[in-house]
Chain A
Amino acid sequence: MHEQEKLFQEESRVKATDLEHRRKINYSLMQSDLAFQKGKNAFPDLESARKRAKNIKWETIEHLNKYLLEFEKKFTERGGKVIWAENPQQVLDAVLQICKQKQAKSVVKSKSMVTEEIHLNPFLSRHGIEVVETDLGEYIQQLSGEAPYHMVAPSMHKSREEVARLFHDKLNAPPGLAPEELTLFTRQILRQKYVDADIGITGVNFLLADIGAVAVTENEGNARLCTSFPKTHIAITGIEKILPSVNDLALFWPLLATHGSGQQVTVYNTIFSGARKENETDGPEDMYVILLDNGRTNILADVTARESLFCIRCGACLNVCPVFKNIGGHTYNATYGGPIGSVITPYLSGLKSYKHLSYASSLCGVCTQVCPVHINLHELLLYNRNKSVKAHCGSRSEKIGWLLWKKACLNRAMMNMTNGRIKNFMIKLLFRKSWGDNRSLPDFAPKTFNELWKATGQ
Chain B
Amino acid sequence: MHVNLFIPCFVDQLYPQTAFNMIKVLKKAGCTVHYNTEQTCCGQPAYNAGYWDECRSVAEKFVHDFEGNQYIVAPSGSCIGFVRNYYGKILENDGHEKEMRHQQLPVYEFTEFLITVLNVEDIGAAFKASAVYHDACGALRECGIKEAPRKLLRHVKGLQLIEAPDCEVCCGFGGTFAVKFEPISIGMGEQKVLNAIEMGAEYIISTDLSCLLHLDGYIRKHKLALKTIHIADVLSAT
Interface residues of A (CB under 8 A from B): 9, 12-13, 16-17, 22, 322-323, 326-327, 359-366, 368-369, 382, 385-389, 394, 398-399, 402-403, 405-406, 408-412, 415, 423, 431, 434-445, 447-450, 452-454, 458
Contact = CB atoms under 8 A, between A and B. Distances in A.
Contacts of B57: 406, 409-410
Chain B contact patch, size range:
35 or more
Contacts, number: 175
B218 to A, nearest CB: 5
Contacts of A408: 40
Contact of B184 (A16, A409, A454): A16
Nearest to B222: A438
Given A405-B46, A409-B43, A437-B221, 13 more contacts: A9-B181, A16-B183, A323-B188, A362-B171, A365-B137, A366-B141, A369-B141, A385-B48, A385-B50, A409-B40, A438-B182, A445-B13, A454-B37
B184 A326 contact: yes
15 contacts: A12-B181, A362-B177, A369-B141, A385-B48, A389-B50, A389-B51, A402-B46, A403-B54, A409-B58, A439-B221, A440-B220, A440-B221, A444-B14, A450-B7, A450-B37
Contacts of B48: 363, 382, 385
Contact of A442 (B49, B185, B216): B216
Contacts of A423: 13
A432 to B, nearest CB: 10
Interface string B134-145: 000100011000
A385 B7 CA distance: 27
B24 to A, nearest CB: 12
Contacts of B149: none
Nearest to A451: B16
Contacts of B7: 449-450
A369 B168 CA distance: 12
B67 interface: no
Contact of A322 (B50, B169, B180, B182): B169
B147 interface: no
Contacts of A17: 183, 187
Nearest to A320: B169
A204 to B, nearest CB: 33
A192 B216 CA distance: 59
A362 B179 contact: no
A326 B175 CA distance: 18
A324 B171 CA distance: 14
B19 interface: yes
A408 B13 CA distance: 13
Given A410-B58, A447-B16, A438 B218 contact: yes
B110 interface: no
Interface in B32-76: 35, 37-41, 43, 45-52, 54, 57-58, 61
A362 B172 contact: yes
B172 A406 contact: no
A322 B51 contact: no
B62 to A, nearest CB: 9
B37 A327 contact: no
B179 A434 contact: yes
Q: Report the 3 A-B pairs with minimum CB-CB distance, sorted nearest first.
A: A362-B174, A439-B217, A385-B50
B9 A445 contact: no
A443 B58 CA distance: 25
B176 interface: yes
Nearest to B41: A409
Nearest to A13: B183
B230 interface: no
A454 B7 CA distance: 14
A445 B15 contact: yes
A402 B47 CA distance: 10
Contacts of B54: 402-403, 405-406
B214 interface: yes
B173 A362 contact: yes
A363 B137 CA distance: 8
Contacts of A327: 184
Interface string B12-36: 1111110110000000000000010
A181 B124 CA distance: 63
Contacts of A435: 178-179, 182, 217
A369 B142 CA distance: 10
B79 to A, nearest CB: 13
A426 to B, nearest CB: 12
B220 A388 contact: no
B156 interface: no
Contacts of B189: 439
B59 to A, nearest CB: 10
A412 B39 contact: yes
